[in-house]
Amino acid sequence: MRIKSIRVKNFRCLEDVRVDMGTLTSFVGPNGAGKSTVLRALDWFFNGETRLVDEDVYSGAVEDRRISVEVKFSDLSVADREALGSTYAPPGSTTFTAWRIWDNGSDKMTARARSFPAFEEIRNAGSAKEKKGLWDDLIARGEAPGLPKWKNQGAADQAMTLWESDNPDRLEETESGVTHLFGFNGQNKLSGLFDFVLVTADLRASEESVEGKKTIIGRILERTIDRKGANAAFEALAKEVSEKQTAINKKHLGEQLNDLADALTAEVRAFTAGRGIRLHTRTSDLRPSPASISVGISDALNETSVDRQGHGFQRALLISSLKLLAARGAQGNDGSVICLAIEEPELFQHPTQARVFSKVLRDLADNLTGGLQVMYATHSPYFIDPRFFDQVRRVTRRQQRPDEHPSVSVHLASLDAVTKRLNGSEVTDDALRSRWDQVWTKNLAEAFFADAVVLVEGDTDKGILDGIAARKGQTALEVEGITVAYSGGKQHLFIPHAILAELSIPTLVVFDNDKGGGLRLRANGKPEHDAAATEANEIRTNRRLLAYLGETVVDNPEGQVSATLHVWADRLEEVIENEWGEWNSTRQSIVDSGRGVAGKNAATYALAARECPAAPSGELIEVMVAARALVASTP
The string of DSSP letters for 581-612 reads THHHHHHHHHHHTTSS-SSS-HHHHHHHHHH-
Max avg pLDDT among 54-68, 89-103, 232-246, 542-556: 542-556
Q: Band of the pLDDT at 208, cuts 50, 70, 90? A: low
Average pLDDT over residues 406-420: 95
Strand order in the sheet with 14-20: 14-20, 2-11, 67-74, 96-103, 106-115, 172-177
Whose CA is closest to 493, among 479, 512, 518, 517?
Answer: 512
pLDDT at 615: 96
- The amino acid present at 42, given as its one-letter code, is L
Any idea of the CA torsion for 534, 536, 540, 543, to the nearest 10 degrees? 110
What's the pLDDT band for 227 if we cut at 50, 70, 90? confident
Amino acid symbol at 466: D
Question: What pLDDT is attached to residue 82?
Answer: 85
Q: Which helix (H) or strand (E) holds 532?
A: helix 528-548
What local confidence, expressed as pLDDT, does residue 186 receive? 42
Phi, psi dihedrals of residue 373, rounded to the nearest 5°: -110, 135
Angle CA 212–44–62, to nearest 5: 155
> Average pLDDT for residues 261-282, to the nearest whole number?
86
Residue 249 pLDDT > 60: yes
Residues of the chain with CATH 3.40.50.300: 1-113+178-210+304-412
pLDDT at 479: 94
Report the share of the chain in percent with pLDDT over 70: 90
pLDDT band of residue 185 (cuts 50, 70, 90) is very low
342-384 pLDDT tens trace: 999 998 888 888 898 898 889 889 888 778 899 999 999 999 9
Q: What is the pLDDT of residue 333?
A: 52
The model's confidence at residue 270, banded by pLDDT at 50, 70 and 90, is confident
What is d(CA 407, CA 405) in angstroms, rounded to the nearest whole number?
6
pLDDT above 50 for 75: yes
Eight-class DSSP state of 273: S
pLDDT tops 50 at residue 184:
no
**How many CB atoms sit inside 10 A of residue 597's CB?**
13
Question: Which of 348-362, 397-411, 426-440, 529-543 shows the lowest per-residue confidence on average (mean pLDDT)?
Answer: 426-440
Distance CA 604, CA 195 (A): 52
- State residue 176's pLDDT score: 72
HEC string of 111-143 equals EEEEECHHHHHHHCCCCHHHHHHHHHHHHHHCC
Model pLDDT, residue 628: 96
Q: Predicted confidence band at 393 (pLDDT cuts at 50, 70, 90)?
A: very high
Looking at residue 206, its pLDDT comes to: 60
Q: Which residues pair with 338 in a beta bridge?
A: 195, 372
SS3 readout for 76-102: CCHHHHHHHCCCCCCCCCCCEEEEEEE
- 151-161 confidence digits (pLDDT tens): 998 899 889 98
> What pLDDT score was predicted for residue 205?
57
Q: Is CATH 3.40.50.10540 what the domain over 1-113+178-210+304-412 is classified as, yes or no? A: no
Measured CA angle at 29 (ends 26, 33), to 5 deg: 115
**Mean pLDDT of all residues in 39-48:** 92
Render 147-175 in DSSP notation, one character per residue: PPPP--HHHHHHHHHHHHHH-GGG-EEEE
Q: What is the pairing mode between strands 2-11 and 67-74?
A: antiparallel
The chain-wide mean pLDDT, for the chain, equals 88
Q: Is the pLDDT of residue 332 over 60?
A: no
Virtual torsion, Cα 340, 342, 347, 353, nearest 10 deg: 30
What integer is the mean pLDDT of 208-233?
68
Q: What is the spatial distance between Cα 293 and Cα 306, in angstroms, rounded to a whole number?
A: 13
Note whether 611 and 586 are within 8 A (CB): yes
pLDDT over threshold 80, residue 178? no
Eight-state DSSP code of residue 254 = I
State residue 221's pLDDT score: 64
Nearest to 511 by CA among 580, 564, 473: 564
Lowest mean pLDDT across 92-106, 288-302, 378-392: 288-302
Q: What's the first-to-final CA gap in the chain, in angstroms?
A: 40
Examine the pLDDT at 629 and tell me if it is beyond 50.
yes
Give residue-wise pLDDT tens across range 487-522. Answer: 999 999 999 999 999 999 999 999 999 999 999 999
Closest CA to 102 of 35, 34, 55, 60: 55
- Closest by CA to 163, choosing from 205, 122, 116, 209, is 116
Q: What is the rounded CA–CA span in Å between residue 548 and residue 485?
A: 19
557-584 average pLDDT score: 96
Nearest to 566 by CA among 514, 615, 622, 632: 622
Q: What is the DSSP letter of 1?
A: -
The answer, yes or no, to whether residue 294 has pLDDT greater than 80, is: no
pLDDT above 50 for 214:
yes
With a cut of 60, say whether residue 138 has pLDDT above it: yes
